[in-house]
Amino acid sequence: MTIKVGEKMPEGAFGVMTAEGPGGVTSDELFKGKKVVLFAVPGAFTPACSAKHLPGFIENADALKGKGVDTIACLSVNDVFVMGAWAKDQGAGDKVTLLADGNAAYAQALGLELDASGFGMGTRASRFAIVVDDGVVSQLHCEAAASDVKESSAENILSNL
């Protein structure tokens, strides 16, 4: 069942790359007492994700934070090492936190998984963006197709804050 506006975000944990190496963060640490924009991509280093989706949030990070967003986080069904390499490649720095959902557990808990087995990618996160206020969904923007970056784009989120 897909998460809806007004519902509490599910509990979960994510891999994050730190200066010391692989680390982790829980959903409670990510969302509690904060306004968070969580957006998901089907895969790190994939075309639309690398050319438009993540770069849009990096470019608009200051504007989003100017509208009260505490944290911008990108979720992908990749391992923490891939997410760390992608963060470096894209210059995410401290603007966007990249979260590894290696087994798609969080994407599935949200009900927003994507069957990409036809492309040899297995279960992935669909492309979406969620605005979370203190652990509760206040906005949910899902794309009709995995290649679309419209509803879940940084520009659309910014215009809806």
Rounded Cα gap, residues 106 and 14, in angstroms: 8
48, 49, 116, 137: the catalytic one is 49
Q: Alpha-carbon distance 43 to 131, whole Å?
A: 20
Could you confirm whether 49 is annotated as catalytic? Answer: yes
Closest CA to 123 of 44, 42, 63: 42
For CA atoms 26, 27, 30, 33, the dihedral sign is negative
For residues 25 and 14, the answer to whether their CB atoms sit within 8 Å is yes
Instruction: List the catalytic residues.
Output: 49
